[in-house]
Amino acid sequence: MKRVLVIEDEMPIARLVQVYLERAGYEVHWNAGDANAIHTFVTWKPELVLLDLMLPDQDGLDILERIRQYGSCPVIILTAKGSVPDKLQGLSLGADDYIAKPFDPEEVVARVQTVLRRSTYIAEADMIRLGSLTIDFSAQLASLGKEPVSLMPRDWQLLAFLARHPNQCFSRDQLLDQVWGMDFEGGDRSVDTAIKRVRKALRLWSETEGEISTIRGMGYSLRVY
């Protein structure tokens, strides 16, 4: 039974979502967005988080940023702030989907199922296709169509990590930790240099299907159009 953490200060909304998710076979835990939200996330270890942005005690985007420091658990933003800038800000911080209030609870269930299915595939797949870009993890190869992409070993590891977490933003420090390792003695500019090389290698793909984008002040994200 997969676990879903609902961080929402309005109890009637949280209860409605909980009822529909439990009917669909999920285990649901509710947090009102208080100071214990991150502690609950860390200790309960949900497979997905439904997160409201407009919370009384803290900004939902701050909670999202903290969640991303712990890993790539899927997060669906559930909020009345449905403007395009709000959506872009949430997605730039690593949200996997965005549902504006008022909503149909059956749509929430469908979105949860879709995001969990996609995240499970990406986490376990030996091969991922992002349009014409194919990432073969077992062979440690990338290709565009039938043409192999020439990458240095570290650049391959960087691309592979980003491909397993599409549309999520990672800081230089996070990429250094995940790709280079904590014992790496080079500076964070090593990330910038590797990103430039990967971008150059993927320039044909980046024209129409996606890109490695820079999120100013935050880091990098592999965007899929």
- CATH T-level assignment (fold) for domain 3-124: Rossmann fold (3.40.50)
Q: What pLDDT score does 159 carry?
A: 94
Q: What pLDDT score does 133 carry?
A: 92
Backbone angles phi, psi at 53, to 5 degrees: -90, -35
**Looking at the whole model, is its pTM more than 0.85?**
no
Higher pLDDT, 56 or 186: 56
**End-to-end CA, the chain:** 32
Instruction: Provide CB contacts within 8 A for 129, sequence distance 6+.
Output: 135
Contact 151, 159 (CB under 8 A): yes
- Assign domain 127-224 to a CATH class: mainly alpha
Domain segments of the chain as ranges = 3-124, 127-224
Q: What value does the mean pLDDT take over residues 64-79?
A: 82
75/82 Cα distance (integer angstroms): 16
Q: What value does the mean pLDDT take over residues 30-43?
A: 91
150-182 tens-digit pLDDT: 988 889 889 999 998 888 888 888 888 888 876
Q: Is the pLDDT of residue 183 over 60?
A: no
Based on the number of CB atoms within 10 Å of its own CB, is 221 exposed (0-12), middle (13-18) or buried (19 or more)?
buried
Instruction: Provide CB contacts within 8 A for 104, sequence distance 6+.
Output: none
Instruction: Provide CB contacts within 8 A for 118, sequence distance 6+.
Output: 96
